Structure 1
Amino acid sequence: MLTPTARTSPTLWSHMRLCSLRAALSINPDVDSWVLHSPRAWLGTAFHRLMAGAPGDSSEAASLWDGAIAKILADASRHRLDARFANPERWPGYYLVRQRAIASAVGKGGGGSGVRRRGSPGSSPPAGGSERLLTARSGRLAGRPDQFDSSAVTEYKSTLPDPVRADAASIVDGYWRQLRLYAVLIGEMGSWPATARVVAASGQVLEQPVDRPACEAEADAAISGLDAMNQALSTGCDSAALASPGQVACGQCPYMAICPAFWSWCEANPWPELLEPAARGTLLSIDPGMDGDLYAVNVSLIGRYGVGGDQSLALRKSVHGDLTGLASGSQLRVVFANLRPDGRLRADASTCVFSEAEIPELRCGSV
């Protein structure tokens, strides 16, 4: 059941700007078991915790990093999809981010990134902090800034997007929108920060002055979006009515496996360009592998990825789960696949395959 929520946050607002259904799914704890989380995001989480710990030397920083990673792995081991990422050494860029994060944290402890700037004239400095829960707009806006003090609000990222990426500008714009809301949260404490910064583990820094009218407007939009989503949810509308399917909203949506609007959009637009391909199809047969872990599912897919005829996806029980008990004719959903040069799909470590029989129905309503 998707239900209204009392407050919004920078993260919820980032989902809501793309799709209200995506936002509603993001705040439902039951949905989490259907989401494959990203090791790249986990590296950012570890970096946040390391910077908040303010280690005095590289040995202490390494210990804080390893402790943060151990907690992430413990949580992942209890998640039916995330357990596949049990070895952090195989995460993209793990050692590079670790090295850079440790260096950045030690540099911060020595004053390397702890730049102090004056706040607004005549303002009293708020108490600083790391990941403190702050609220504003009568409690309807909440968030945990990575770091803030009397001069600046800082968001830590494991990496910054490569400028050549087509979506690099929109990603960075999302960072600034997030920081605008954090500035409002801090400002309601009594003093607005003068500067907003994005700091990467590499030492790269993006910085711009805090524009109070722009921040207030961002908060107004976030609250309006919350009201609109809550009103729709409280009426018990069809979940698809909340959705805004399209290339941008659906391209990397973590909820596409269970989203009815996404699959309807795919069927209505048989040639959508997806950054990470997804497809529905019928299970034809299963070929067991030689090692007891590897197996192949032979499927007939619909839409653009089924044009080449029946396909075989090589899967591993330890990564993709055990589908060998499914009967021929079962309907499957494949998400986050890779595209081979011949136009057929290939499963990798991030690919998820589900039986449609297990997909939950999404219903809206008030509690």
Structure 2
Amino acid sequence: MLRAILSTSREADDWVLDSPRAWLGTAFHRLMAAHPSDEAAAEVLWDSAIGQVLEAASTHRLNRRFGTPERWPGYYLVRQRAIASAVRSGPLPRTAAQPARPASSMDGTEKLLTARNGRLAGRPDHFDHQSVTEYKSALPDPGWPEAASVVDGYWRQLRLYAVLVGETARWPVVARIVSASGQVLEESVNRMNCDAEADAAVAGLQAMNEALERGFDSSELASPSEIACGQCQYQAICPAFWSRCASASWPQLREPAARGTLVSIDPGVDGDLYAVTLQLEGRHGAGGPQSLALRRSVHGDLTARGKGARIRVVHASMRPDGRLRAGISTCVFLEDELPELECKGSA
């Protein structure tokens, strides 16, 4: 519930680092929607989409660190695959299980649809008289521990899209996940399962509004777990997350997070790179104070703060010696600058 509420807040977005992987997916969506006639046209569309993403990122306090798309992981590979997929795209082949149907005037791309008396709304990437499709820049590596939960989230999204399409026009027969590499995951649409998913979503919305009306504390709206917290972009401002991090039984996340106190600062000599020494809490502080190399252009400038300032670090990585390392996606925050969550009203 808490993540759903935060996702509607523009103020919360100020404390969220977005993912270039998602931006590549946005560019891929636009290519597939435009159906470019040749590679040159596709390249223009791609560059335009990425340019719009960069323009928006340049005004965001965290996202502006990603100003060079050529340095994004897998950028050139996804770009080439997306362009090739868009140029050769056309109606996906109909399987033997799909009956031929006449074209519908409700076929569309990213068209806003509503269902359940307006309680559900969404923009399917593409739908037609046979299928509903979700485009992704890439699918997770099956060997990644959280891959199954990510793909399950895609299928849940498509079940909701199927309800939106079904209540607006006619029910699709097939749901598809299409990646820029050309890989396609496909499932038959089970109307009973889709309706159950939609009913659960509406019930969850109702429960969330009731909880807000009763004045629940934000931590009571959260459901912390290793996977839910590991995939959540609101770690930095979530009280429930930091309460769990303080517990000895809380599992180590794939991207570690820690809080602690600023001990000292080495301002560096090149105007960008500098180092802070932190005394961290919990498991990360067991070995004593540790140094963290940071860049002003990426992680912000903490050099004006004095000893004793409270710090939160999210989306870090782990060095071989078990200490934290700050990468391009690591965020470092001063606790006294972070907002406090106050739950009121209804969504």
Pairwise TM-score range, normalised by the shorter structure: over 0.9
Q: 1: CA distance between counterparts of 2:205 and 2:140?
A: 28
Higher relative contact order (CA 8 A, sep 6+): 1
* Aligned: 1:178 with 2:157: yes
CA contact (8 A) 1:180 1:218 kept: yes
Q: What does the per-residue CA deviation read over 1:230-256, in whole Å, with 9 as the maximum and x for residues that have no partner?
A: 111122211000011121111131100
Q: 1: CA distance between counterparts of 2:198 and 2:231?
A: 25
- After TM superposition, the structure 1 stretch with the greater mean CA deviation from structure 2, 222-231 or 269-278, is 269-278
Counterparts of 1:35-184 in structure 2 under 5 Å? Answer: 35-108=16-89, 111=90, 113-115=91-93, 125-184=104-163
CA contact (8 A) 1:281 1:302 kept: yes
The equivalent residue for 1:324 is: 303
Counterparts of 1:331-350 in structure 2 under 5 Å? Answer: 331-350=310-329
- Kindly report the root-mean-square deviation, in angstroms, between the aligned alpha carbons of the 2 structures: 1.7
Other structure's SS at 1:257 match:
helix
The equivalent residue for 1:358 is: 337
Q: Displaced runs of 4+ in structure 1, greater than 2 A?
A: 113-126, 268-272
Q: 2: CA distance between counterparts of 1:337 and 1:122?
A: 51
Shift of 1:269: 3.1
Which residue of the other structure, out of 221, 227, 235, is the alignment partner of 1:242? 221
Other structure's SS at 1:66 match:
helix
CA contact (8 A) 1:181 1:215 kept: yes
Give TM-score scaled by structure 1 length: 0.91
Other structure's SS at 1:217 match:
helix
The equivalent residue for 2:283 is: 304
Q: 2: CA distance between counterparts of 1:161 and 1:222?
A: 25
Shift of 1:24: 1.0
Other structure's SS at 1:232 match:
helix
Shift of 1:125: 3.4
- Structure 2: segments with no counterpart, 5+ residues: none
Shift of 1:114: 3.3
Q: 2: CA distance between counterparts of 1:73 and 1:296?
A: 28
Other structure's SS at 1:100 match:
helix
- After TM superposition, the structure 1 stretch with the greater mean CA deviation from structure 2, 189-198 or 274-283, is 189-198
Q: Which residue identity lines up with residue 92 of structure 2 in the other structure? A: G
Q: 1: CA distance between counterparts of 2:46 and 2:107?
A: 23
Q: 1: CA distance between counterparts of 2:100 and 2:211?
A: 43
Q: 2: CA distance between counterparts of 1:116 and 1:150?
A: 11
- After TM superposition, the structure 1 stretch with the greater mean CA deviation from structure 2, 129-138 or 113-122, is 113-122
Q: 2: CA distance between counterparts of 1:85 and 1:260?
A: 28
Q: Which residue identity lines up with residue 131 of structure 1 in the other structure? A: E
Q: 1: CA distance between counterparts of 2:248 and 2:200?
A: 31
- Structure 1: segments with no counterpart, 5+ residues: 1-19
Q: Which residue identity lines up with residue 291 of structure 2 in the other structure? A: S
Which residue of the other structure, out of 185, 205, 212, is the alignment partner of 1:226? 205
Q: How many residues align?
A: 345
Q: 2: CA distance between counterparts of 1:122 and 1:96?
A: 36
Other structure's SS at 1:225 match:
helix
Q: Which residue identity lines up with residue 40 of structure 2 in the other structure? A: S
Q: 2: CA distance between counterparts of 1:104 and 1:294?
A: 40
The equivalent residue for 1:7 is: none
Q: What does the per-residue CA deviation read over 1:328-355, in whole Å, with 9 as the maximum and x for residues that have no partner?
A: 1010001111111111111111111101
CA contact (8 A) 1:271 1:303 kept: no
Q: Which residue identity lines up with residue 64 of structure 1 in the other structure? A: L
CA contact (8 A) 2:103 2:128 kept: no
Q: What does the per-residue CA deviation read over 1:128-161, in whole Å, with 9 as the maximum and x for residues that have no partner?
A: 1110000011011000000111011110001111
Q: 2: CA distance between counterparts of 1:124 and 1:224?
A: 34
- Among all aligned residue pairs of Structure 1 and Structure 2, give the percentage whose two residues are the same amino acid: 65
CA contact (8 A) 1:44 1:157 kept: yes
Q: 1: CA distance between counterparts of 2:9 and 2:207?
A: 17
- After TM superposition, the structure 1 stretch with the greater mean CA deviation from structure 2, 163-172 or 307-316, is 163-172
